[in-house]
Amino acid sequence: MAQRRNSGSNLFLTVVYMLAMCRAIPINDLLNRASQSSDKMYSLSTVLTQDLASHISPMSWPTMERPALCHTSVLPTPNDKEQTLQVSESALMSLARSLLQAWDKPLVILSNNANTLPHPARNSISNKIQELQEHSKSLGDGLDILSGKMGPDAQVVSFLPYHGGTDLGHDRNTKLQKFNFLLSCFRRDSHKIDSFLKVLRCRAAKMQPELC
């Protein structure tokens, strides 16, 4: 029992030490790390959507759901780089955190359905979805620390509930379509998150806006 208490205390102290070290790191370095992580997340989601698209019947495309139906579409976000450059640092961080947290549940749903996906590379897809979850968790932890350095406005998170349900269907085409739709929404949002963080990194480095 004493050994368990000591192990628990050591783990707690390790976590506290790591958090203290992260908070001591300059914000430029933290933004660089966050941007690198978001870039990996976006790249991985792009590969996954390409893998899925190649196995969906062309006849199904006209009936597939559109990005405007993504559960995060209710959150007003900049439409392009020019608009993004007009948004304050704290608002960009708030948007990035809101989008990322909105995917906690949907990523679990994708992970739970990946192994039964009617796709020849479902094992690889399942592993990549798990990687996405890890990147998302790691990035979320980093953004929590970053937002704490940027003030209360950056810590505001909009609640974006997912009501799509956990069942993606049973017949081949329906399951592939719903899985692909959900993953495409994540890819779109991960691209937004990556764009917001790159602008924040650019501003922290005091680069010219046209170079962001």
Residue with the larger pLDDT of the pair 147 and 28 = 147
**pLDDT tier at 177 (50, 70, 90 boundaries)?**
confident
Say what the pLDDT of residue 55 is. 67
Which residue reads 């992580």 in tokens? 37
Q: What confidence score (pLDDT) does residue 174 get?
A: 82
**pLDDT tens, residue by residue, 76-89:** 999 888 899 999 99
For residue 104, pLDDT beyond 50: yes
- Residue 10 covered by a domain: no
d(CA 109, CA 103): 10
Is the pLDDT confidence value at 209 over 50? yes
Q: Which of 113, 83, 96 is nearest to 42 (CA)?
A: 96
Range of the structural domain that residue 125 is part of: 27-211
pLDDT at 2: 46
CA distances from 46 to 99, 179, 185 (A): 17, 14, 11
Give the integer Cα–Cα distance in Å for 24 and 73: 35
Of the pLDDT bands very low, low, confident and very high (cuts 50, 70, 90), residue 138 is: very high
Domain annotation covers residue 89: yes
**Residue linked to tokens 């069942």:** 167
Where on the phi/psi map is residue 173: left (φ > 0), alpha (ψ -120 to 50), or beta?
A: alpha
The alpha-carbon radius of gyration of the chain (Å, integer) is: 19
Q: How many CB atoms lie within 10 A of CB 65?
A: 15
Residue 140 has pLDDT above 50, yes or no: yes
Question: Which CATH number do you get for residue 165?
Answer: 1.20.1250.10
* Residue-level pLDDT at 156: 94
Average pLDDT over the chain, rounded to an integer: 83
Q: Looking at residues 188-194, what average pLDDT do you find?
A: 96
Contact yes or no for 108/126 (Cβ under 8 A): no
**Whether pLDDT at 28 is above 50:** yes
> Which tokens in the block code for residue 171?
């017949």
Is the model's pLDDT at 58 over the cut of 70?
Answer: no
The contacts of residue 124 (CB under 8 Å, 6+ apart) are: 51
Query: With pLDDT > 90 as the criterion, what percentage of the chain qualifies?
Result: 51
In total, how many domains does the chain have? Answer: 1
Task: Assess whether pLDDT exceeds 80 at residue 49.
Answer: yes
- Asked if residue 193 belongs to a domain, the reply is yes
| 186 neighbors 106 (Cβ within 8 angstroms) | yes
Lowest model confidence (mean pLDDT) among 42-46, 161-165, 188-192 = 161-165
- Is the pLDDT at 206 greater than 60? The verdict is yes
One-letter amino acid for residue 56 of the chain: I
Asked whether residue 9 is assigned to any structural domain, the reply reads no
Examine residue 202 and state whether it is found in any structural domain, yes or no: yes
* Residue 207 included in any domain: yes
pLDDT of residue 25: 64
- Whether 21 maps to a domain, the answer reads no
Q: What is the DSSP letter of 86?
A: T
| 126 found inside a domain | yes
Over residues 17-41, the mean pLDDT reads: 75
